[in-house]
A and B are shown apart, each in its own frame.
Chain A
Amino acid sequence: MVEKGWIGGGNTGRNTTIIRSNYLFDESIAIYEHALKLWEGLSQDLNYNVMYSPRGVMMLAHNVHDAQMMKRIMHANRANGVDNEWLTPEQAKAFCPPLEIGSHLRYPVVGATLQRRGGTARHDAVAWGYARAADALGVDILENCEVTGIRRGASGAVEGLETTRGPIRTPKVGVVAAGNSSVVMRMAGVTLPLESFPLQALVSEPVKPVFPCVVMSNAIHAYISQSDKGELVIGAGTDAYTSYTQRGALHVDMHTLEAICELFPCFRRLKMLRNWGGIVDVTVDRSPIIGLTPVPGLYVNCGWGTGGFKATPGSAHVFAWTVAKGEPHPIAAPFSLERFRDGAMIDEAAAAGVSH
C-alpha cells in the first residue's frame, strides 16, 4: 500500500462520517447495503473499536416534491430489504428534539425518512483499525511515498510503479486516490469521466450530548450529527469550480449554517471551531467507478464523490475481490468504467445527499 501522505490524512480524516444505505437504485442499494452489513461487525472483524453507532439517519422533506421523491426512495429501499420509514413532522421532532418543525419556517418540515440502522463511525479509528488488521495480514504500508509513475511493458500491461522512494515491480495496481484519481490514472495514460471539487465540512465547539441522530436536508442543504467528542459535525456543499486546494469558499459554509440555524434554533449561538475542505472526485451520475480499466493489470476505485466513507468496507471488499480475480465482483459490475460508453448510468444525484 503506497500512500503519498500518511494513513487517514486525506479524505478519510476529512469527512462527516455518516453511514447509510438509503439510495434509490438497486445497484447502489446493493453496494451500500453490503457495506452497512459489514459496518455492523467491523469492530469485531478488525478487533478494533471503530465506534460504529447506528443512531439513525433522518432525511427531511420540505415540500411535496421532496416528500414524493423521498417516499419513492423509501419504497425502493424496502423492496430491497433495506430498512427505511416515513415520519410525520411530530414523529421527526420526537426522534430529534432539537429540530424545529413550526410552520413559520421558510422551508417547513413536512415529513422525513428514517433509516434506523444508519449512523456514524469514528473515521480515524476506521483508518487505524484497517491499517493494523492489514499489517497483521502481511501488507506493507509505505507512508510518505508518492507515486510518480505507472510503468507499463511493451504489451501495455502494468509492470510496476515509480515512487519518490524508488520503483516497485508488480503486475497489478489498484488505484484508490479519491480527488487525485485523474492525476494518478493519467500516469498510465487513462483519462476518466471525473471532475474534482472541494467539499467542505466544519465542527462546532464541543458541547454535552444534545443531538441524538444524523439529520440531513437535501433541499436546503445541511447535514449534522454530534461526534463522541461533543462537536457538532456539519457538512456543507461542494464549491462551484474544480480545485485541488483542500479549502473552499466561506459563502458555501454560510449557506449551510443559515439552514442549520433555521432548522435548529438552539444552535444559533454556538461557535464554530474549525472548517476544512477535502477534494472529491465526482462522476456525472454521482456513482462510483469500480473495476478494470483499458490497461491490463490496472484497476480503479474512484468517483465516490461526496459520499464514499459510508461505503468503506463494501467498497474495499468488492474492489479487493475484483483485483484478486481480475474480473468485476457481481456487486461492483454495474459500476464499471464502460457504463459511460454504454449509457448504463446509475443516476443517484437525488440520493447523493450533497448538492453539486
Chain B
Amino acid sequence: MLLIPCPYCGERPEIEFSYGGQAHLVRPPRPAELSDEEWARYLYVRENPRGRHAERWRHLRGCGRFFNAIRDTTTDRIAATYRVGEAPP
C-alpha cells in the first residue's frame, strides 16, 4: 500500500484516496470544432509511461480535495505531490 503525501493533510495510507489517472489533461475549449480523431485522443489516449508519471489523486476519505502527484511507475515511489493549478516540479 502506498503512503501518499496529501498536500493538504500530509502522509496518509492509499486506501483514503481515489485515483484520477493522467494529470494535466485539458478539455478542448470547443469540442465541436475537433475532428473525431482529436476528440478520441483527448478522451481515451493516455501516455501510460514506464517511469515518471504525473497523475491526479483525490483525498476522498480525508479532505476530499484533488491534487497531483509525480510517481515513478517502475518503482511506485512518489517523488512529489502538488496542488491543482501548480506546475509539475
- On A, residues with C-beta under 8 Å from B are 180, 182-183, 191-196, 240-245, 249-251, 281, 283-284, 340-343
The DSSP consensus for interface residues of chain A is: loop
Nearest-Cβ distance from residue A305 to partner chain B, whole angstroms: 13
Interface-lining segment among B24-32, B40-48, B81-89: B40-48
Specify the chain A residue showing the minimal Cβ separation from B39: A341
Nearest-Cβ distance from residue B14 to partner chain A, whole angstroms: 6
Task: Give chain B residues whose Cβ lies under 8 Å from the Cβ of A191.
Answer: 41, 45-47
Across the A-B interface, how many residue pairs have beta carbons closer than 8 Å? 69
Nearest-Cβ distance from residue B53 to partner chain A, whole angstroms: 7
In the docked arrangement, what's the CA distance between A341 and B2, Å? 35
Nearest-Cβ distance from residue B38 to partner chain A, whole angstroms: 9
Task: Give chain B residues whose Cβ lies under 8 Å from the Cβ of A284.
Answer: 43-44
In the docked arrangement, what's the CA distance between A340 and B74, Å? 28
Nearest-Cβ distance from residue A78 to partner chain B, whole angstroms: 32
Q: Which one, A240, A340, A343, contacts B18 given CB within 8 A?
A: A240
Nearest-Cβ distance from residue A132 to partner chain B, whole angstroms: 31
Task: Give chain A residues whose Cβ lies under 8 Å from the Cβ of B75.
Answer: 245
In the complex, the answer to whether A341 meets B18 with C-beta atoms within 8 Å is no
Nearest-Cβ distance from residue A197 to partner chain B, whole angstroms: 10
In the complex, the answer to whether A193 meets B45 with C-beta atoms within 8 Å is yes
Specify the chain B residue showing the minimal Cβ separation from A285: B44
Specify the chain A residue showing the minimal Cβ separation from B15: A251
In the complex, the answer to whether B19 meets A240 with C-beta atoms within 8 Å is yes
In the complex, the answer to whether B1 meets A249 with C-beta atoms within 8 Å is yes
| Subset of 24 A-B contacts with CB under 8 Å | A180-B50, A182-B47, A182-B50, A183-B48, A183-B49, A183-B50, A193-B40, A193-B44, A194-B48, A195-B46, A240-B14, A241-B2, A242-B53, A242-B73, A249-B1, A251-B14, A251-B15, A281-B48, A284-B44, A340-B40, A340-B44, A341-B36, A342-B36, A343-B36
